[in-house]
Amino acid sequence: MQSIKLADGRHIPQVGFGTAAIGAMHQDDGYVKDTVLKAIEAGYRHLDTASFYGNERSVGQAVQESGIARKEFFITTKVWDTQQGYQSTLTALEQSLERLGTDYADLYLVHWPYPDKTRPTWQAMEKLHSEGLAKSLGLSNFRKTDIQQLLEFAEIKPVYNQLELHPYHTQPHLTEYCQSKGMVVSCWSPLGSGSWSGVAKEDKPIVADTIVTLAEKYQVSAGQIILKWDCQRQRIVIPKSESDDNIKANLQLDSFTLTDTELDQIDALNKNHRYGGDPDNAWQDNLNNPVPSR
């Protein structure tokens, strides 16, 4: 599988499996484990989870049940807003690792910017990195101002920023800024979000004329067109699926290549439309939604 080299020298598979809200948000059971196991059997080795998803146990069980060596996987998890701060971040990763049944995270992210806590949170993450518990460090939903704040004191620079990014929200300026600072950009909700968002299919980019026309031209699905656009733009994608066909299709992106004109046509669909939280204020809501305690 195609991988991207991070600025710290480690490699991340370009297509990962998103695990938020498999079944439902905070669902952590045999259904989640079996879905992740199906993805592993289809070939995914990069799994994206978070303490807030409340499903780290099922994700970890799928990895163990697969019988595939831990070192073959790239597992990302994240520290939630209510866990930010120095000591609480140390504890948060310890708890995530216990739930995942692993000794380390391949990539540990600050899930959302919470500027008052960024410094102690990142300093704890640097300690976790020095202890080998978090192999790479990164961000999620960080705006340019949040990154500038962090770079003023960070001894270890972030190598990754996971953003809401799909054809209706392409974030060109932030993407360019992240890349100029050595961060790989990863796209969350790359297909226009899962059922957690309540967004109807007809409002998602997978039904946009440009995407559907390209899918017909290349005899692939609309989802594959969007994921290929991201990959050709050197971004990571972490689509989530519970359907056998989509799980497999989202990994099969090698049969076609979009032209530069077609990549530009998809860029042009941007309307700065978010389906999920806005980092300008998300931390305020997030503080009212703690990580499930199990």
Ligand X SMILES: NC(=O)c1ccc[n+]([C@@H]2O[C@H](COP(=O)([O-])OP(=O)(O)OC[C@H]3O[C@@H](n4cnc5c(N)ncnc54)[C@H](OP(=O)(O)O)[C@@H]3O)[C@@H](O)[C@H]2O)c1
Residues within window 174-203 making contact with ligand X, judged by CB under 6 A? 188-195
**Looking at 23, 101, 120, 276, which residue binds ligand X (CB under 6 A)?**
276
Q: Minimal distance in Å, beta carbon 74 to ligand X?
A: 13
Catalytic residue among 31, 44, 53, 114: 53
Q: Minimal distance in Å, beta carbon 75 to ligand X?
A: 12
Q: Minimal distance in Å, beta carbon 286 to ligand X?
A: 10
Question: Any known ligand binding at 129?
Answer: no
**Looking at 82, 140, 161, 175, which residue binds ligand X (CB under 6 A)?**
140
- Which residue stretch of 59-67, 145-153, 243-251, 260-268 sits at the interface with ligand X (rule: CB under 6 A)? 243-251
**Looking at 99, 143, 235, 240, which residue binds ligand X (CB under 6 A)?**
240
Q: Decide if 53 is catalytic.
A: yes
Q: Is 146 in the site for ligand X (CB under 6 A)?
A: no
What is the DSSP code (8-state) at residue 17? E
Q: Is 223 in the site for ligand X (CB under 6 A)?
A: yes
SS3 188: strand
How large is the C-alpha radius of gyration of the chain?
Answer: 18
> By C-beta, is 67 or 83 nearer to ligand X?
83
Q: Is 250 in the site for ligand X (CB under 6 A)?
A: yes
SS3 of the chain: CCEEECCCCCEEECECEECCCCCCCCCCCHHHHHHHHHHHHHCCCEEECCHHHCCHHHHHHHHHHHCCCHHHCEEEEEECHHHCCHHHHHHHHHHHHHHHCCCCEEEEEECCCCHHHHHHHHHHHHHHHHCCCEEEEEEECCCHHHHHHHHCCCCCCCCEEEEECECCECCHHHHHHHHHCCCEEEEECCCCCCHHHCCCHHHCHHHCHHHHHHHHHHCCCHHHHHHHHHHHCCCEECCCCCCHHHHHHCCCCCCCCCCHHHHHHHHCCCCCCCCCCCCCCHHHHHCCCCCCCC
Q: Is 110 in the site for ligand X (CB under 6 A)?
A: no
Could you identify the residue written with the tokens 């948000």? 25
Beta carbons within 8 Å of 242's beta carbon, 6+ residues apart:
22, 23, 35
Number of residues lying near ligand X (CB under 6 A): 29
> By C-beta, is 131 or 285 nearer to ligand X?
285
Q: Is 249 in the site for ligand X (CB under 6 A)?
A: yes
- Which residue stretch of 115-123, 207-215, 237-245, 263-271 sits at the interface with ligand X (rule: CB under 6 A)? 237-245
Q: Minimal distance in Å, beta carbon 152 to ligand X?
A: 23
**Looking at 92, 133, 206, 236, which residue binds ligand X (CB under 6 A)?**
206
Instruction: List contacts with ligand X (CB under 6 A).
Output: 18-20, 48, 111, 140-141, 162, 188-195, 206, 221, 223, 238-243, 246, 249-250, 276
Which parts are annotated binding residues for substrate? 111
Q: Which residues are catalytic?
A: 53
